[in-house]
Structure 1
Amino acid sequence: MHYLIGDLGHLFVITSFITSLVTAFAYFKATTVNDLEKKTFWLHNGRTGFYLHAAAVVGICVTLFVIISNHYFEYHYAYNYSDRKLPVYYLISTFWNGQEGSFMLWLFWQAMLGLVLIHTNKFWEAPVMTVFALVQAFLASMILGVVIPGLGSKIGSSPFILLRDAMHEAPIFMAQPEFVPKDGNGLNPLLQNYWMVIHPPTLFLGFATTLVPFSFCIAGLWLKKYQDWIRPALPWALFSGAVLGLGILMGGYWAYETLNFGGYWNWDPVENAIYVPWLVLVGAIHTMITYKNSETALKASIVLVITTFILILYATFLTRSGVLGDASVHSFTDLGLSGQLLIYLFFFLIAAVALSIARWREIPSSEKEASTYSREFWIFIGAVTLCLMGFQVLLPTSIPVWNKILHGIGITSNLAIPGDQITFYSRFQLWFAVVVGLLSGVGQFFWWKKIDKDQLKKELTVPVLITLIIFALIVTIGQVYTYTYVILTLAGVFTVVSNTKILFSLLKSSPGLSGGAVAHMGVGMMLLGIMFSAGYSKIVSLNNTGMRISNEFSEDFNRDNLLLFINEPRTMWGYDIEFLGERLEPRHHGGYIRKSDVMPTGDRDLVVAKRNFTANGTTFKANDTIDIRGENTFYEIQLRKNGRAYTLYPRAQINPEMGGLLVSPDIYRTVSADLYTHVSSVMKPSEEEAWSKLEEMNVKIGQQFYANDYVCVLDSIDRVFDVNGVHLNPEDVAVKAKIRIRGEKGDYYAEPIFLIKDKMAGRIPDEVADLGLRITLLNIHPETNEFALGINTRQKDWVVIKALEKPYINLLWLGTLVLMGGFGIAMTRRVREFRKMKAKGFE
């Protein structure tokens, strides 16, 4: 038992919690005292406290990773989320797989950001770090795992709890208190994806960065520096918008590659909970830029910055309190932290609102009249649109919360989250997106030019004409006839064209100002990518045979999915679609191997080669043990069109513990479209055992015979001295038949074994799964030089698949990169401006 490492980890957690409170107090005193010597004293203590806090946070992370990487399965966290077969990069991702680990990741990023702030902005250090340290104290409390004496209630959930304490009622621990499992439960197969190694850290960095502008805003209100906080906060807000947006889109790409709903955004409540604060943050960025340029929208900036951070806390409550347990498969279960999460949320909500109300009358307001032809007016309209866009999503997403509140006061509520979430949210969000696209196109002309009505018409003439030409080509060639998509296409094209014009004019004079134009071009490209990939996705597996797959399935399932028997191509929507067999993925070799070339060993991660074979340039010899990636089976699907072949390997796993059939799609990417295929249903092991009655026949070497309508030839009979799983003594005899079977896609081989061991006859049949054929060497007749073979047959292997063609989806991913590039350009410019101001003595 490795008790020391867990005790050390728990000590680091307690240290991080205490030091964050000490830091908050020291920085609070440094902010409120006027005496310079005392202020310096408290600042020094605050920095020391935060350095110790950051060191403790790093210690927590290192300690937990030591437990995971060394497979200390006596700890609940390591047992629950990892196993011995996971490669290092997936072991890293297990770190944030549980609630406790994700809180630690959040805590870590904010500790690193705090260190940066301490050394970059001395004037704001004390008030900003007061807010930072308080937030860190709340986060650290989430992983304390301390029971309050006398009350029995728990503060936080510790990642260092022992398995026997977490499962103390399990019979094994009652009998053997020191029992340690040999292996862990492992990582959910759907999370074994490279995006899950980089997506959560990016997303939680985005969460953490929202604290920076919030802290500057609170500091500005606290010190009555109502205008000064905008300048240092703006680069951080841009950085936060870029990182949080990138994290959200990474999650969408992970869903696209890993989940089987056929898209990248499902309007799941967990997705919505993160999407909403990002929209409000983007609105805040625009109002902050407006204030910096024209000293208007200061109050709007304060409201939106505070709202962004509060919505991040609300999203945390939604996803971790268990309130979405029946509404989302992605939310965490309740660890008993819902009360803590509410305290965390309401503490900062009440404090921020109270401070804002107390200072509201003192906050400067612009007396300027916002005309229709002013940039301030259009920025205001854009920010309002983004907020409405967010809250249209937030209100239905929060229905489980309203239900719980009403239930708590004795009122029965029948409110329910929309059944068809994609249709419900898309119906509204599409029109918001159109408005955002048009504002992104028109607003830029107000942004960079002092413009009147006539000048606006002149500036828009060329972009509008180019837009109409491109729009007409897209509608005609792409056959975009649905009126909503027609309007969305027009908005997307106009956004790209108008911002391209702005970009070219800026590149000639002020390249550093081009961030907004580049970002808005990305928005337009994303709108077009979403429109084509979602609105004009084509199901190429559409079942037009007139035969239902099964009465157990819905009408939609029977219509959109295709039943494929191995090596029997079907033609659908211009594609020849063929199932080529089941495949396994070797852990240490590239590509896939045929499942029919190996046999199981009883270990889910090991198989044995039946014979010599070559796959993907690697030669495997008979009886070689091959390490494979768990219980995953890959189904080789080939789609052929216009002389080109596209081979895909969607994954499936029968896992009763995780809901039955776990599947992941495979995607063949081309410039113009993605071919997206996933498995919908597979043969179950019980179905595979439905063999026909044994048919016997006598054959000679070289003689042809038929089995399951395939031509077979007995090539040879050889004595063997090594049989997998059987120990042969010197007096034992074993012979192997080599039978060649001519399949539709080449030759297969069956190698049944007949043996005499301890003077008793034994038979080891061989199965060719792809062909639904099992052959047994029953007997040897030396007097006639014949060999008795037993033939069993079953239905050929089959799979039900769904295949889609998603046109121009690359526009979405390319638009994402362009959007992030625009954020980067804008952030770089603001950082340079801030450094120049610091150099002149201003902060």
Structure 2
Amino acid sequence: MIHTTVGQLGHFLVILSFVTALLATVAYFISALGRQGSTRKSLVEEPQLAYAGESSFGGKTTKRKASPPAGAANAGADKDDWRTLARWAFYIHGLAVIGVGVSLYWIIYNHYFEYHYAWSHSSLALPVQYMISCFWEGQEGSFLLWLFWNAVLGAVLIQKSGSKWEAPMMTVFALVQAFLASMILGIVFGDTFKIGSSPFLLLTEAMPDAPIFTADPTFVPKDGNGLNPLLQNYWMVIHPPTLFLGFALTLVPFAYCIAGLWRNQPLEWIRPALPWTLFGAMVLGVGIMMGGYWAYETLNFGGYWNWDPVENAVYVPWLVMVASLHTMLIAKRSSTGLKTAVILTIATFLLILYSTFLTRSGILGNASVHSFTDLGLSGQLLVYLLAFVVMAIVLATVKWKHIPSDADETSVYSKEFWVFIGATVLCLAAFQVIATTSIPVYNKVLELFGKVSNLALPADQIAHYNKFQVWFFVIIALITGVGQYMWWRKLDNKKWDALITPGILTLLLSAALIAIGEVKNPVYMALLVASIFALMTNGTILLGIIRGNYRLSGGAISHIGMALMLIGILYSAGFTKVISINNTGMLISKQDVFTKDNNKENKENTLLWLNQSERMGTYQLTYRGRRIQARDVPGYIPTKDISVIEGDFHGVAQRDIEQNGKLYHKKGDTLALYPENTYYEVEYREPNGKIFTLYPRAQVNERMGLLASPDIRHQAGRDTYTFVSSVPDPSAENTWEKTETYSVAVKDTFFLNDYVAILDDVSRTTEVEGMEIGPNDAAVKARVRVLDKNGEHILNPTFIIKDRLVGRRAETSDELGIRIQLNEINPQTGKFTFAVNRTQRDYIVMKALEKPLINLLWIGTLIVVLGFLIATIRRYREFTKMSSKTVD
């Protein structure tokens, strides 16, 4: 059955959201023009119209307000009518966006695979939380998420912004929503021109030429392609919504700024926009760090930041946003700060649009591992970007003359100077990143003019960006210390004595850490000293603030968190230690051994055979086998205990399934599985005898090959980071070589798969697993002892005569890669014939790292968030307090 109703409803709501966004834009624009006209008129006429006359009463003179002219009343009524229409249009738009989201999730949740979006991004095997991730895996769903957050913020601002700001600001908001809604319209004109890509396309519409639909137009796939396995992580449930909320929040200060310029009030917009800027910087920063932690937990490059173009495209707007909020803080006292705040607030939003163009237009090509593919919207995205670039630049240029100028130059001993310098350095750091990231854009532009560009992205992008960014943040860390002292007027009369104590503490602590640690690189030394200086100075400021008023401590707390983050980044990235050193001399990689990368791969990976212990640094490691996850059983289950039903996401228990003494399934029960991932149990034995176990995972994906994700042991001082770099295909059945036969007598020695084997004994038995031996039956069990360097293995193949029928039960050893079966017994010669098959022994090649002090990065992130939150609350309270004293 094809469920077309929900898709038709969803598509109708998309169109409704687009139309109502346009209606709200026009209505708010007309309302803003009316408001602006009445404001100008009142500014001119108010001195004459304020009071019509005076009268005396009881010896006091009272002033009598004049009634407004009838024309002014009509103008106000017309203005309110347009604003009311605009509000209703925006509210309906918001409801339509919610309806679109509900319709799309309904399709995904109910597995309506006749829809291209559900078929492309989901499957029957996915649990509910990952179905949520399916919603925003595709471009259409992520645009819809962005639309939703903008609609929510717009509804809040309608209620909270005040009448003088609502119309001009919401004009910008509604226009942005119209552009975003157009991205999912999916309306086609002719054969080539289309507006947007609809998430409600049926497969027959998305792939009309597919042979299956020619044969059967009503065909519905039984299952979908599934979610990208790298996105099957709980961070992908919360990271994208947080990130897109951060995107949406950049629109709020931008809209306030445009409204302030529009109204010829270039300073007044700062106060209402500042708490939103703080909140937006906090949320966007949290979203970025969530992505970093997802990469750390899910990808296997050994870190949390890889300077990928998609990472850079989000990092740059955040840097500029942080710079803009610092200039907003000094805007009241410095025209330079005000002008810079206008430029940077506009630039933040435009950079968000630019990053959207980079990641969704396909222009990055293979430069990024996780950019979206081109849906044919590159032209539409470019129009979206250029429309706001032109609008913002033209408006700022025309209104620039209304921004006041300072009579005196800013002194180097003023707080405004140091805050401005800090913002400048942040912008330079952002420019360095975006200039390099945009190389594919430069190439494309030159191609349009018939030129061939030889520009290429850096071969070692991590080294390239680190080389510059480290020094930028050395300067930023130093400035945060000096700037805070200037801000709280600790440096007076051009004397810097107050910095002597934190400076001495910084040098002593840095010298101690350098002496006892591994910091020998001068660049690392500089970053360490600067970070500790920021920690000392801001810590001193914080103590003073707490004694007075903790609500003023947001800046100092944020800077302390930043300093801790820098120290965590320095040690975890600069002093990561590879502990999986290959000292066996065995060649792990069979590629070109003369290349640097392969030599490194051979040196930094350890080969572990199943159940054979190997030394790795201070640890004794043992690979204990493959594991699988069941949906209703905690932990991991050995794969040999479950017979997987292919394509059904279920398995049959081969034994009773118990965990922690609790029975979950009996032998023969069918249980639901998470079949895509195979986990590899690696046992670590520490020198003191303590044991901990890690379960790195991997899967062989048809589209993406081997996908390996790490498992991490978190400790206070370091993380132990482990992932598999090579495994036998976990989905492949063992390929057994041709059968070899051995006829031996008891105590004879023979060779099995290069191992020495001894037939110790053959004895009668009454116990055979899964079979009842009656009084008229007979069974014998051989005891074959196989020797290897780590000890011996006992194999017990069984020969059975039951109901006058001969049966044989083979014994398989995954550790040895051997299957042995007792085929014949010759009483006359006293010899026993064994059939032996050999296969690849079970193994993993793994890499293990120790990352020192990485927890300082995560702790610092939380402290930065706390500081931003305190500052946001303080600035919001200031705004509401001032608003309550002001009559619009």
TM-score when scaled to structure 1? 0.92
- Measure, in 2, the Cα distance between the counterparts of 1:614 and 1:779: 38
The separation in 1 between residues aligned to 2:159 and 2:714, in whole angstroms, is 46
SS at match of 2:491: coil
Aligned equivalent of 2:737: 691
> Aligned runs of 1:95-174 on 2, under 5 Å?
95-123=135-163, 124-148=165-189, 150=190, 152-174=192-214
Residues in 2 aligned to 1:485 and 1:18: alpha-carbon distance in whole angstroms: 55
2:526 paired residue number:
487
> Partners of 1:613 and 1:710 in 2: how far apart?
33
Farther-moved stretch of structure 1 (220-229 vs 314-323): 220-229
Contact preservation (8 Å) 2:122, 2:225: yes
**1:569: Cα distance to partner?**
2.6
User: What one-letter code is carried by the residue in structure 1 that aligns with 2:872?
Assistant: M
Note if 1:319 corresponds to 2:359: yes
Q: Within the alignment, does 1:195 sit opposite 2:235 as a pair?
A: yes
Which residue is 2:257 aligned to?
A: 217
Secondary structure at the counterpart of residue 173 of structure 2: helix
Residues 352-377 of structure 1: per-residue CA shift (max 9 Å, x gap): 00000001112112223211111111
SS in 2 for 1:72: coil
Whole-angstrom distance in 2 between the partners of 1:19 and 1:745: 76
In structure 2, what is the Cα distance between the partners aligned to 1:839 and 1:607?
65
Give 1:406-421 correspondences, 5 Å limit: 406-421=446-461
Aligned to 1:598: 642
State the shift of 1:623 in Å: 3.0
Task: Check conservation: 1:28, 1:127, Cα contact below 8 A.
Answer: yes
1:627-642 to 2 correspondence within 5 Å? 627-642=672-687
Which residue matches 2:513?
A: 474
Question: Are residue 802 (structure 1) and residue 860 (structure 2) matched?
Answer: no
- Which of the numbers 108, 120, 126 marks the counterpart of 1:86? 126
Shift of 1:780: 8.5
1:66 aligned to 2:111?
Answer: no
* Residue type of the alignment partner of 1:3: T
Which residue number in structure 2 is paired with residue 533 of structure 1?
Answer: 572
Separation in 2, partners of 1:158, 1:699: 75
CA distance in 2, matches of 1:338, 1:637: 47
Flag the 1:777–1:220 CA change in 2: closer, same or farther, 3 A. farther
SS for the counterpart of 1:422 is helix
Alignment of 1:37 with 2:81, yes or no, is no
The one-character-per-residue Cα deviations of 1:250-304 (angstroms, maximum 9, x if unpaired) are 0000000000000000000000000001000000000001114666511100000
Matched with 1:730 is none
SS of 1:472 mapped into structure 2: helix
Counterpart code for 2:186 = G
Q: Quote the offset at 1:787 in angstroms.
A: 8.8
- In the alignment, is residue 441 of structure 1 matched against residue 481 of structure 2? yes
Question: Would the alpha carbon gap of residues 785 and 833 (structure 1) be closer, same or farther in structure 2, given more than 3 Å must change?
Answer: farther
Task: Give yes or no for the alignment of 1:651 onto 2:690.
Answer: no
Structure 1 residue 542: Cα displacement: 1.8
Structure 2 SS opposite 1:631? strand
- Aligned-partner Cα distance in 2 for 1:832–1:815: 26
Separation in structure 1 between the aligned mates of residue 860 and residue 222 of structure 2, nearest angstrom: 47
- Secondary structure of the corresponding residue to residue 210 of structure 1: helix
| SS of equivalent residue, structure 2 residue 724 | strand
Deviation of the 1:717 alpha carbon: 6.0
2:48 is the alignment partner of 1:7: no
Given residue 884 of structure 2, which amino acid in structure 1 is its aligned partner? A
Alpha-carbon displacement from aligned partner over 1:282-334 (angstroms, at most 9, x marks no partner): 00000001114666511100000000000000000000000112101110010
- Equivalent position to 1:570, from 614, 622, 635: 614
- Per mean C-alpha deviation after superposition, the further-off stretch among 514-523 and 625-634 is 625-634
Q: Which moved more, 1:473-482 or 1:97-106?
A: 473-482
Quick check: 1:504 aligned with 2:505?
no
Distance 1:325 1:292, change over 3 A: same
Identity %: 51
1:582·1:770 contact (CA, 8 Å) conserved in 2?
A: no
State the one-letter code of the partner of 1:683: P
Q: What is the CA–CA distance in structure 1 between the aligned matches of 2:140 and 2:756, rounded to whole Å?
A: 58
Q: Is the 8 A contact 2:749 2:756 kept in 1?
A: no
Q: Is the 8 A contact 1:601 1:608 kept in 2?
A: yes
> Residues of 1 paired with 2:493 and 2:821: CA distance?
88
State the AA in 2 paired with 1:678. Answer: F
Contact residue 717 and residue 737 of structure 1 kept, 8 A? no
Q: Quick one: distance in 1 between partners of 2:322 and 2:764?
A: 72
Secondary structure of the equivalent of 1:110?
helix
Determine if the alignment matches structure 1 residue 666 to structure 2 residue 666. no
**Equivalent-residue separation in structure 1 for 2:469 and 2:570 (angstroms):** 12
For 1:68 and 1:507, locate their aligned partners in 2 and report how far apart those are by CA, in whole Å. Answer: 51
Task: Give the secondary-structure state (helix, strand or coil) at the position aligned to 1:627.
Answer: strand
Tell me if structure 1 keeps the 8 A contact 2:757–2:784.
Answer: no
Q: Distance in 2 between matches of 1:650 and 1:495?
A: 38
Contact 1:277 1:312 in 2 (8 A): yes
* Residue 374 of structure 1, aligned match among 407, 411, 414: 414
**Deviation sequence 1:74-128 (CA, Å, 0-9, x none):** 0011111111121111111110000000000000000000000001012211111
RMSD over equivalenced CA pairs, Å: 3.1
SS in structure 1 opposite 2:233?
coil
| Amino acid paired to 1:436 | I
> 1:476 deviation in Å?
2.2
Matching residue of 1:229: 269
TM-score calculated relative to the size of structure 2: 0.88
- Is the CA contact 1:721–1:734 (under 8 Å) kept in the aligned structure 2? no
C-alpha deviation, 1:435, in angstroms: 0.6
- Describe the SS at the equivalent of 1:549: coil
8 Å CA contact retained: 2:743, 2:831:
no
Map of 1:543 onto structure 2? 582
Classify the secondary structure of the residue corresponding to 2:168. helix
Equivalent positions of 1:228-377 (< 5 A) are 228-292=268-332, 297-377=337-417
Unpaired segments of 5 or more residues in structure 2?
39-74, 593-597
CA distance in 1, matches of 2:831, 2:668: 28
Against the structure 1 CA distance between its residues 178 and 722, is the aligned structure 2 distance closer, same or farther, given a 3 Å change threshold? farther
Kindly indicate whether the alpha-carbon contact (under 8 Å) linking 1:666 and 1:676 is maintained by their aligned counterparts in 2: yes
- Asked if the contact 1:325/1:332 (under 8 Å) is kept, the reply is no
Matched, 1:206 2:250: no
Q: 1:545, CA displacement in angstroms?
A: 2.9
Question: 1:684-733 CA distances to partner (integer Å, 9 max, x unpaired)?
Answer: 47794253643456899xx999976588988956688899xxxxxxxxx9
Residues 839 and 614 of structure 1, relative CA distance in 2, 3 Å threshold? same
Of residues 373-382 and 193-202 in structure 1, the stretch that sits farther from structure 2 once superposed is: 373-382
Aligned-pair CA distance for 1:173: 1.2
Which deviates further from its counterpart, 706-715 or 107-116? 706-715
Which of 819, 824, 839 aligns to 1:774? It is 819
1:486 partner SS:
helix
CA distance in 1, matches of 2:795, 2:275: 66
